[in-house]
Amino acid sequence: MNHKVLKILIIGLMAALSYIAFTFMQIKIPTPAGMTSFHLGNTFCVLAALLLGGLPGGAAGAIGMGIGDLLDPTYVIVAPKTIILKLGIGIITGLVAHKVMHIQNKEGKELRRAVFISAFSGMLFNVIGEPIFSYFYTTVILGAPDKAAKALASWNAITTGTNAIIAVIVSSLVYLAIAPRLKNNGVLKKLSPKE
């Protein structure tokens, strides 16, 4: 199979998994300025970035969770924010994984460390960016009162931190479980971005 076709298929798969994990494995929390939630959607955005690189990984998360927002009446107004943040998660994770840590060239303990640092970097971006971006998006774009926007940002900080911990652990474990098999059959080399 052509490596470009394989990448597109993996992006689609990860987008679908992001959508499913976000939509159906979610605990919604209402706040005065909108909804926030605990969910597993970021896990597949990070996993896609580890497998494919930053932009494809970010695209998978942005597509999957963006569609999740667009199809949910409580989240539809924040879909642009979601798309931007998930794209950022993927870009940061992929940049660290493939350009800084070079995970495609590591094995054993070095690989585990590099994968964890890469996943952590992408989710750290989200932990910092989500509450800040959410506050400004809620006040400037949606016109919510300052007090309500601060309440939403506070709740977002809590849920985003929890989601980040779960995403780092699960995506790292899944990548480490499938990477040796993908490497042995040559698929990982086809998926990984060129250095």
pLDDT tens-digit map of 26-37: 888 887 767 778
Which regions of the chain does DSSP assign to beta strands (E)? 26-31, 34-39
Q: Which domain holds residue 179?
A: 3-191
Of the candidates 26, 19, 20, the residue with the CA atom closest to the CA atom of residue 64: 19
CATH code where residue 113 lies:
1.10.1760.20
- Grade residue 195 by pLDDT with cuts at 50, 70 and 90: low
pLDDT tens-digit map of 34-54: 777 889 999 999 999 999 999
The model scores a pTM over 0.85: yes
Number of independent structural domains in the chain: 1
CB 91 within 8 A of CB 118: no
* Mean pLDDT over each residue of the chain, to the nearest integer: 92
CB 179 within 8 A of CB 111: yes
